[in-house]
């Protein structure tokens, strides 16, 4: 059997539990020594909160099919369908919630409790994107509501519940949340653009806020072996591992509860991956084989971690005489004439990011090109003898094209009145849409914003989104009237994300609203809780600026131009921060860089922002 070679710039911890014995499979694959550190395991945390809920189900205190409002009476939304959301729907991503309230969810360094109140505040004004129970679409907010249910039913804080009912029975001493850790210095170092940063902390505890080590995550995974009822009954584990159907269906808490290669070998595998912005994790459990593998990394991705975990699982299975075959994908045969029945699928398609046009030039191949997405792109795909379309490398028209590697395929599926595009036979990617004709005045209002960038102003000083999601750019096109990016234009100042695709393609969506305050235009991401200011309202950072008075909820942005050989020295009061970006939008400095100092060389062109509460003032010397 061929073994994969993993190369990535990351500190990695990997652990294997076989029939109750902990084996450190990998200590570290980087310059950082991971011993003694813990990581935030991101969405692997969803298995922990689901376990907590299923414990209460075992005790008869929670009914999976009861409405969420039975347990959280103050939970309300601006959409009466929310009454139909059940506890089970929170766990299997079928609630219909828009996705994630990201505002104030991740921070550099410790942040006080209170995120759940922010979720309630945003959900009160939010709609649902689908009827509850209608289809799977990955959703963080559902697990925040599940976390709150656990607190209401148990009478304990979620952190205390995890410590008492999960950690103590399993003997876990390095697992908890940031509210139970007494030394954040033990969190594994995280980096951005080569610079070490302050610890990355997650306030979304149920959805992504568990801190742990690979050893203890593997031990937690071993609690799902059948016959081991330390945490859950076998009935509860089986319910969590039940496949809920659909192209991208999941279990309860688990991302994957069936993998074809392993099913062919008679092996059941349950998998959950997790990514914060800088930390990553994968938990793979073979519950009938008594094998649990956990891989955690600072850097890399949960996808790489999962590949590594599955490779370790394969080795453990092989030592038991169970060989899992992973056939290599065969390069499909392509033909240069598309069957005529596919030509009806020409037109506009949407995903959460933008509008895509699909056409079939001369009926020879599929042309797939962005219309309103940030950063234009296009691709050519040829029809195959297997009945799908495969991406090509090169130019089909010139006859100089080969099947691209890795394989990327698209196919069409009709579902009721919808035409959906399926990617790689395993996930939905696009939905066909009609032109959305609006009045010329409304269209002109959005066309005037096309190409404009908007910069985050509403988040607190330590919000990580100033590093990873601080800017959004609007794009319209005459080829897709009535749309801006992936939004459907409603009026001159409102656009709604109506993507309506089952699965990951419509996760974390939001409607947007435009407002004008004191002559400055702002864009609000309604369902994620962010507000941004339009770039034309941002002043130049001139040489006479020696201080910046800060205002809560209104980050102070400046444009950098002609800053050749200019450095500034900052006097940053407590609970304030600064970020500097180059002309390509890369973070070249943040006050959360460890041991950087307070003297900052500025890029010749770019942006600088100062964030803090009203009453604080940043001093600037040149």
pLDDT interval class at 4 (50, 70, 90): low
Q: How far, in Å, CA of 47 to CA of 142, rounded?
A: 13
Asked if the model's pLDDT at residue 157 lies above 70, the reply is yes
Asked if the model's pLDDT at residue 449 lies above 80, the reply is yes
Average pLDDT (576-603) is 96
Determine how many CB atoms are found less than 10 A away from the CB of residue 491.
Answer: 14
pLDDT interval class at 589 (50, 70, 90): very high
Whether residue 244 contacts residue 133, with contact meaning beta carbons closer than 8 Å, is answered with: no
Cα distances (Å, whole numbers) of residue 447 to 153, 356, 438, 505 = 50, 18, 12, 26
Residue the block writes with tokens 């407002």: 515
Asked if the model's pLDDT at residue 20 lies above 60, the reply is no
Asked if the model's pLDDT at residue 5 lies above 50, the reply is no
Share of the chain above pLDDT 90, in %: 86
Average pLDDT (262-274) is 96
Whether residue 567 contacts residue 601, with contact meaning beta carbons closer than 8 Å, is answered with: yes
Average pLDDT (384-413) is 95
Residue the block writes with tokens 């959460």: 352
Q: How far, in Å, CA of 555 to CA of 191, rounded?
A: 24
Residue 19's pLDDT is: 59
Average pLDDT (453-477) is 96
Residue 185's pLDDT is: 59
Higher per-residue confidence, 33 vs 446: 446
Which pTM value belongs to this model? 0.94
pLDDT interval class at 29 (50, 70, 90): very low
The first and second tokens of residue 540, run together, are 């130049």
Residue 338's pLDDT is: 97
Parallel, antiparallel, or unpaired for β 471-473 and 453-456? antiparallel
Residue 374's pLDDT is: 75
Could you write out the DSSP letters of every residue in 42-89? GGGHHHHHHHHHHHHHHTTS--TTSBGGGT-TT---SSGGGGG-BHHH
Residue 21's pLDDT is: 52
C-alpha neighbours within 13 Å on the C-beta side of residue 405: 5
- pLDDT tens for each residue of 592-611: 999 899 999 999 999 999 99
Asked if the model's pLDDT at residue 388 lies above 90, the reply is yes
- pLDDT tens for each residue of 467-499: 999 999 999 999 999 999 999 999 999 999 999
Residue 357's pLDDT is: 97
Task: List, edge to edge, every strand of the sheet that includes 599-601.
Answer: 547-549, 617-621, 567-571, 599-601
Asked if the model's pLDDT at residue 546 lies above 60, the reply is yes
Residue 566's pLDDT is: 95
Contacts of 577 (CB under 8 A, 6+ apart): 108, 461, 462, 466, 590, 591, 592, 610, 611, 612
Residue 111's pLDDT is: 85
Contacts of 562 (CB under 8 A, 6+ apart): 604, 605
Average pLDDT (4-11) is 49
Contacts of 448 (CB under 8 A, 6+ apart): none
Asked if the model's pLDDT at residue 563 lies above 80, the reply is yes
Whether residue 88 contacts residue 444, with contact meaning beta carbons closer than 8 Å, is answered with: no
Of 20-34, 197-211, 538-552, give the lowest mean pLDDT range: 20-34
Asked if the model's pLDDT at residue 22 lies above 70, the reply is no
Secondary structure of 535-571 in the HEC alphabet? Answer: HHHCCECCCCCCEEECECCECEEEEECCCCCCEEEEE
- pLDDT tens for each residue of 72-128: 999 999 999 999 999 999 999 999 999 999 999 999 998 888 999 999 999 999 999
| Bond before 406 cis per omega within 30 degrees | yes
pLDDT interval class at 26 (50, 70, 90): very low
Residue 1's pLDDT is: 47
CB burial of residue 38 (10 Å; 0-12, 13-18, 19+): buried
What are the helix and strand counts (H, E) for the chain? 13, 37
Asked if the model's pLDDT at residue 247 lies above 80, the reply is no
Determine how many CB atoms are found less than 10 A away from the CB of residue 334.
Answer: 19
Average pLDDT (607-616) is 97
- pLDDT tens for each residue of 273-318: 999 999 999 999 999 999 999 999 998 999 999 999 999 999 999 9
Residue 373's pLDDT is: 82
Average pLDDT over the chain reads: 93
Residue 30's pLDDT is: 36
Residue 11's pLDDT is: 61
For residue 541, list its beta bridge partners: none
- pLDDT tens for each residue of 169-226: 999 999 999 999 876 558 888 998 889 999 999 999 999 999 999 999 999 999 999 9
């Amino acid at each position: 059997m061929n073994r994969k070679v993993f190369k990535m710039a990351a500190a990695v911890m990997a652990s294997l539990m076989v029939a109750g014995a902990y084996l450190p499979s990998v200590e570290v694959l980087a310059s950082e020594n991971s011993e003694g550190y813990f990581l935030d395991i991101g969405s692997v945390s969803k298995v922990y909160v689901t376990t907590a809920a299923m414990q209460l189900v075992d005790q008869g205190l929670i009914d999976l099919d009861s409405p969420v409002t039975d347990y959280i009476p103050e939970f309300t939304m601006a959409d009466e369908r929310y009454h139909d959301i059940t506890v089970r729907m929170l766990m299997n991503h079928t609630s219909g919630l828009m996705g994630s309230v990201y505002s104030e969810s991740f921070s550099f360094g410790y942040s006080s409790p209170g995120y759940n109140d922010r979720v309630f505040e945003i959900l009160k004004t939010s709609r649902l994107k689908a009827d509850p129970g209608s289809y799977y679409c990955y959703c963080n907010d559902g697990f925040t509501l599940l976390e709150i249910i656990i607190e209401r039913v148990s009478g304990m804080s979620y952190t205390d519940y995890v410590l008492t009912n999960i950690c103590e029975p399993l003997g876990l001493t390095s697992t908890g949340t940031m509210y139970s850790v007494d030394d954040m210095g033990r969190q594994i170092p995280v980096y951005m653009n080569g610079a070490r940063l302050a610890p990355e902390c997650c306030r979304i505890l149920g959805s992504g806020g568990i801190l742990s080590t690979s050893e203890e995550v593997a031990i937690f995974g071993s609690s799902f072996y059948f016959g081991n009822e330390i945490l859950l009954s076998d009935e509860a584990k089986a319910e969590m591992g039940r496949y809920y159907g659909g192209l991208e269906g999941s279990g309860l808490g688990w991302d994957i509860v069936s993998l074809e290669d392993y099913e062919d070998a008679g092996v059941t595998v349950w998998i959950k991956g997790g990514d914060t912005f800088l930390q990553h994790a994968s938990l793979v459990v073979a519950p009938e084989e008594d094998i649990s593998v956990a891989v955690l990394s600072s850097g890399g991705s949960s996808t790489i971690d999962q590949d590594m975990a599955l490779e370790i699982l394969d080795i453990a299975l092989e030592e038991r005489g169970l060989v899992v075959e992973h056939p290599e994908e065969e390069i499909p045969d392509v033909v240069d004439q598309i069957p005529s029945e596919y030509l009806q699928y020409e037109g506009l398609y949407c995903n959460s990011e933008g509008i895509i046009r699909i056409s079939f030039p001369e009926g020879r191949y599929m042309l797939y090109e962005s219309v309103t997405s940030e950063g234009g792109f296009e691709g050519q795909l040829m029809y195959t003898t297997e009945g799908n379309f495969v991406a090509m490398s090169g130019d089909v028209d010139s006859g100089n094209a080969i099947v691209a590697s890795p394989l990327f395929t698209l196919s069409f599926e009709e579902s009721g009145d919808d035409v959906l595009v399926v990617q790689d036979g395993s996930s939905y990617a696009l939905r066909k849409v009609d032109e959305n004709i609006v009045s010329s005045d409304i269209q002109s209002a959005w066309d005037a914003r096309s190409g404009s960038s908007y910069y985050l102003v509403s988040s607190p000083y330590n919000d990580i989104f100033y590093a990873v999601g601080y800017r959004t750019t609007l794009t319209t096109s005459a080829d897709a009237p009535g749309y801006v990016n992936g939004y459907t234009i409603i009026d001159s100042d409102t656009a709604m994300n109506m993507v309506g695709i089952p699965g990951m393609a419509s996760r974390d969506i939001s409607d947007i609203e435009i407002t004008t305050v004191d002559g400055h235009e702002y864009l609000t991401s309604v369902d994620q809780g962010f507000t941004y200011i339009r770039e034309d309202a941002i002043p130049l950072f001139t040489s006479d600026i020696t201080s910046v008075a800060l205002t809560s909820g209104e980050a102070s942005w400046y444009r950098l131009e002609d800053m050749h050989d200019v450095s500034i020295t900052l006097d940053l009061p407590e609970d304030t921060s600064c970020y500097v970006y180059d002309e390509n939008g890369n973070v070249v400095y943040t006050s959360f860089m460890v041991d950087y100092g307070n003297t900052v060389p500025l890029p010749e062109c770019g942006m600088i922002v100062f964030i803090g509460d009203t009453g604080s003032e940043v001093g600037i010397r040149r």
